[in-house]
Chain A
Amino acid sequence: MNIVVCIKQVPESTEVRVDPKTNALIREGVKSIVNPVDENAVEAALQLRDQHGGTVTVITMGPPQAEEALRHTLAMGADEAILLSDPASRGSDTLATSYVLAQMVRKIGDVDLILCGKQAIDGDTGQVGPGLAERLGIPQVTFAIGLEVTDGRLQARRVLDDFFEVLEVKLPAVVTVVKQINDPRHPSMKNVLKAKRAEIAKWTLADLAADPKQSGFEGSPTQVLKVWPPEKRSGGRRLEGSAEEVVDELAETIKGMKIASG
């Protein structure tokens, strides 16, 4: 079973600084990591490969330094990694990104399953996985917390707000996973050394026969007008004492604010 995992390199810090002029994230001085839930997707792929055989190919679209994120997944045990890095893909929104990733999957060819993390910690949209399935015209399952493959069909357990849902889909399909699906393995030192020397395929949009109008700024109907860090919460008061005292005091305070009636 051949599995493709789509990952994204993201800044490690949750305290992101934004360049006020370009609205872009300031990446200097911030360590880059594999988007955490994408590591769960890689782990899920490795487990399926270990059960059913086949290969795990990890792909990403990003700047040249995204190679480091791919190496980390190779160290975890992925078989191959492909980086699409092309200045013309800069500024891609989720629509354009899913287009480029779909073209990558098409070029890879014989793919049974595509796994993605639920969403990235920087953009937080959760749209690329579903977008990719639409682009490829194949079934999708989002928020998977469990996966099982039997005879070319995949059973996925989805975690929703108040319940689980079990879906069965035909392969190939796109599945996005949640953090609770597994505990990503630490890379073994032999794999760390192997990954350092591994050849990472580097593709450009030209290699994909991609329509340039569908990627980068041009292919992105979404424009980020402004990005700013949330204002830090200030003030606040900590109530102390027994539960009864605290509740009474809280009720009085809320009444005083005139936001609750009764």
Chain B
Amino acid sequence: MDFTFNEDQQAILDAVKEFCDEDLAPKAKETDEAAAWPAENVRKMAELDLMGIPIPEEYGGLGMDFLTWSAVGEELSRACTTTGAVYGAHALALVPIMQFGTEEQKQKHLIPLAKGEHIGAFGLTEPNAGSDAGAVATKALRDGEHYVLNGTKIFISNGGEAQTYVIITSTDRSRGARGLTAFIVEKGTPGFEFGKDEKKMAFPSLPNRELVFTDCRVPKENMLGRENAGFLVAMRTLAVGRIGMATGAVGVARAALEAAVPYSHQREQFGKPISTFQAIQFMVADMATEIDCARLLTWRSAWLKDQGKPFEKEAAMAKLYASEVAMRTTTKAVQILGGYGYTKEFPVERYMREAKLFEIVEGTSEIQRMVIANHVLRELNR
């Protein structure tokens, strides 16, 4: 076992931390309250080669691993949750095109994504499909050299701002999950439009939009993976996405702890800093311990992926645990700050609202428990 980063990983993390502390964190409140796409942060991430960390250099990436991608994501989310979320959602287009794309698709779509010239998004969720991926109703029907897409995706992160979309469609409704097919759809394709941008509890600067397909003709060379093998594309993508969500959750939990501790030293009650009271100390101890557990689970799942080993169960564990830690930690941070924690003068109320997202997005906690239980019940059934 080795719990240290290698020199390259450490050098990247050091440089990213500097960027986060100097550029992202001081403007995080502003970025959030702007309720607008954080274009400048996204541009800077591209300039700094952060948009294609786990993609090989020949496809415009940094040629590093998913562990580095995860550790960087934690720093980004800790400094600016919105920017971290854009980074996480972008990977949902990078990963499937890297894994399932043909050479032509990689040349055309992966390189600009990895360089950050294009932003990516992933469309699975629909009004009646999400946790139940097999119920996808967006149809794709073959018509000569094209497929014709009809249907609506909802809640799509980076929707409207991204140029490259990986869309899960149904090519054979009768076969359910075995009749799904993935396509790469570019912004600007006739018949592909953006609908409602959801107003949410948090993350007003992160678009979560409807994608509306009306007789949208997509060339057949944009099919990602084989026809009717889209469920596999979706599941593989979501498995990595769970590492990403766990990463974001650890980031926001850390931000909350790092806001609560200095406050507890400075805030005096009964003539003493509240950090001297055991009630506060125990909360701090639990927060720090749980964050460490969540991070280790997250890094392990990324490491397993890098080793080419199965990581689906571990990614689900990381996502489940980290998102619930984020919720508990941010709630405790608000509690430590008391009345001030409930105000918008301090960032912890925002962290608490943001944390809730992680328990829902990319598979709710309940879905994660189902995934984990399926693995465990099978593994131990001898």
Contacts and interface: CB of A to CB of B under 8 A. Distances in A.
B7 A196 contact: yes
B47 interface: yes
A189 B18 contact: no
B53 interface: yes
A189 B49 contact: yes
A189 B23 CA distance: 16
B50 interface: yes
Contact of B48 (A188, A193, A196): A188
A187 B8 contact: no
Interface in B1-57: 7-8, 11-12, 15-16, 18-19, 22-23, 44, 47-50, 53
A186 B8 CA distance: 17
B19 A186 contact: yes
Nearest to A191: B49
A192 B15 contact: yes
A192 B12 contact: yes
B133 interface: no
Contacts of B47: 188
A207 B11 CA distance: 31
A211 B8 CA distance: 40
Given A193-B62, A196-B7, A186 B22 contact: yes
Contacts of A186: 15, 18-19, 22-23, 44, 48
Nearest to A185: B47
Contacts of B48: 186-189
Given A75-B15, A196-B11, A189 B22 contact: no
Interface in A186-211: 186-190, 192-193, 196
Contacts of A192: 11-12, 15
Contacts, number: 34
A189 B62 contact: yes
A254 to B, nearest CB: 32
A196 B23 contact: no
Nearest to B72: A189
B53 A189 contact: yes
Contact of A193 (B11, B22, B23): B11
Contacts of A193: 8, 11-12, 62
Q: What secondary structure prevails in chain B residues at the interface with A? A: helix
B8 A196 contact: yes
B229 to A, nearest CB: 33
Contacts of A189: 12, 15-16, 48-50, 53, 62, 64
Interface residues of A, number: 9
Interface residues of B, number: 18
A188 B7 CA distance: 16
A189 B16 CA distance: 8
A190 B49 contact: yes
A187 B15 contact: yes
Interface string B75-87: 0000000000000
A61 B7 CA distance: 25
Nearest to A189: B49
A188 B53 CA distance: 12
A189 B46 CA distance: 10
Contacts of A188: 47-49
A192 B7 CA distance: 11
A187 B8 CA distance: 14
B115 to A, nearest CB: 10
Contacts of A75: 15
Nearest to B57: A190
Contacts of A190: 49, 62
A189 B53 CA distance: 9
Interface in A149-193: 186-190, 192-193
A184 to B, nearest CB: 10
Contacts of B19: 186
Nearest to B62: A189
Nearest to B44: A186
A192 B18 CA distance: 13
B11 to A, nearest CB: 5
Nearest to A193: B8
Contacts of B22: 186
A40 to B, nearest CB: 14
A188 B60 CA distance: 13
B157 to A, nearest CB: 23
A120 B267 CA distance: 37
A26 to B, nearest CB: 23
Residue picked from A186, A188, A190, most chain B C-beta under 10 Å: A186
Nearest to B48: A188
Nearest to B16: A189
Contacts of B18: 186
A75 B19 CA distance: 13
9 contacts: A75-B15, A186-B15, A186-B22, A189-B12, A189-B48, A189-B53, A192-B11, A192-B12, A196-B11
Interface of B: 7-8, 11-12, 15-16, 18-19, 22-23, 44, 47-50, 53, 62, 64
Given A186-B19, A188-B48, A193-B62, 15 more contacts: A186-B18, A186-B22, A186-B23, A187-B15, A188-B47, A189-B12, A189-B50, A189-B62, A189-B64, A190-B49, A192-B11, A192-B12, A193-B8, A196-B8, A196-B11
A-B CB proximity, top 10 nearest? A189-B49, A186-B19, A188-B49, A192-B15, A190-B49, A188-B48, A192-B11, A189-B12, A189-B62, A187-B15
